[in-house]
């Protein structure tokens, strides 16, 4: 009985130590999520205006022929950038985005499209290396605090590959797989095609204000050449910020769930320890009473 009680108490101490760690991780994530959300909101206006500028060049230019908007007849090779985390303790954050990557890769395999995989984040790099998957490029060390400089490095690498023909090791398309931050409780993996741009014709109400007129100097193609690096870099940077906010939110939720589970286990094992201690005390009392009775009988027999 004493061995059982010691084992339960040792388990309780272990769970208490784990609960302290998960609680600390939860508090750290909770203190950082606000700043991450603010960075996402702060980057949104620039991203929106830059996208409107690109859309203005494309939609207001007749018969424009540029790699940015030219839809290939058949894609032979595509570059896929996957954004994962550098650290764990974030629940299914990485598993979900890697699962979405697998679906995209399976779809491209069915269409006969080769895939060049680029990964940002230690968890994604480790996942691919463990399975023997070749990586065309990798970056690490900034998943929870991305900077514009890292986005620029990634964009330069992808643009260099997009500029080369597929026959020479380049790519006809660039896809981005990351986790979109919806709310503190919801983060969903998404797939976006960065290049070429997907042009959609939609019906909309005519604008109430005068229709804007655009003139491009020296030409729409030159303007797109200047906007292209900014556009790709900003799309990647905004995705990095969204992924960072989603990672921190997922870590906070996972650590809160772990802390709650630890509390439930502590309550369960505390009851078991109390029962074991009660049984031990009852046994000790029974042994004392039995010994006293035996001693009394022995004294009465001697008299």
Instruction: Give 164-185 pLDDT, tens digit per residue.
Output: 887 788 888 899 999 999 888 8
| Ramachandran category for residue 105: left, alpha or beta (phi over 0 → left; psi -120 to 50 → alpha) | alpha
Per-residue pLDDT, 126: 94
Kind and range of the H or E run holding 115:
strand 114-120
pTM of the model: 0.81
The residues of the chain scoring below 70 in pLDDT are 1-2, 59-70, 72, 198-216, 220, 301-303
| Full set of structural domains in the chain with CATH | 26-199+213-255 (3.40.1380.10)
**% residues pLDDT > 90 (the chain):** 31
Cα gap 297→243, rounded to integer Å: 79
Q: Is 303 helix (H, G, I), strand (E, B) or coil?
A: coil
Per-residue pLDDT, 301: 66
The answer to whether the CB of 79 falls within 8 A of the CB of 171 is yes
């Amino acid at each position: 009985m004493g061995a059982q009680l010691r084992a339960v108490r040792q388990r309780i101490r272990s769970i208490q130590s784990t609960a302290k760690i998960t609680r600390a991780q939860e508090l750290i994530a909770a203190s950082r999520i606000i700043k991450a959300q603010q960075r996402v909101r702060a980057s949104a206006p620039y991203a929106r205006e830059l996208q409107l500028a690109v859309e203005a060049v494309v939609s207001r230019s007749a018969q424009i022929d540029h790699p940015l908007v030219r839809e290939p007849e058949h894609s032979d090779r595509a570059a896929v950038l996957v954004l994962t985390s550098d650290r764990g303790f974030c629940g299914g954050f990485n598993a979900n985005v890697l699962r979405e990557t697998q679906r995209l890769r399976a779809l491209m395999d069915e269409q006969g499209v080769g895939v060049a995989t680029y990964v940002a984040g230690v968890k994604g790099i480790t996942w691919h290396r463990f399975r023997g998957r070749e990586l065309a490029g990798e970056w690490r060390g900034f998943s929870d605090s991305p900077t514009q400089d890292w986005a620029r490095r990634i964009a330069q690498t992808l643009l260099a590959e997009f500029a080369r023909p597929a026959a020479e090791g380049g790519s006809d398309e660039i896809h981005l797989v990351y986790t979109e931050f919806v709310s503190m409780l919801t983060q969903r993996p998404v797939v976006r095609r960065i290049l070429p741009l997907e042009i959609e014709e939609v019906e909309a109400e005519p604008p109430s204000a005068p229709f804007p007129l655009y003139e491009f100097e020296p030409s729409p193609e030159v303007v797109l050449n200047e906007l292209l690096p900014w556009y790709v870099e900003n799309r990647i940077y905004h995705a990095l910020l969204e992924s960072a906010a989603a990672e921190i939110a997922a870590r906070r939720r996972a650590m809160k769930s772990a802390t709650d589970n630890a509390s439930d286990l502590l309550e369960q094992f505390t009851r078991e320890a109390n029962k074991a201690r009660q049984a031990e005390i009852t046994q000790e009392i029974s042994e004392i009473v039995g010994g006293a009775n035996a001693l009394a009988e022995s004294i009465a027999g001697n008299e």
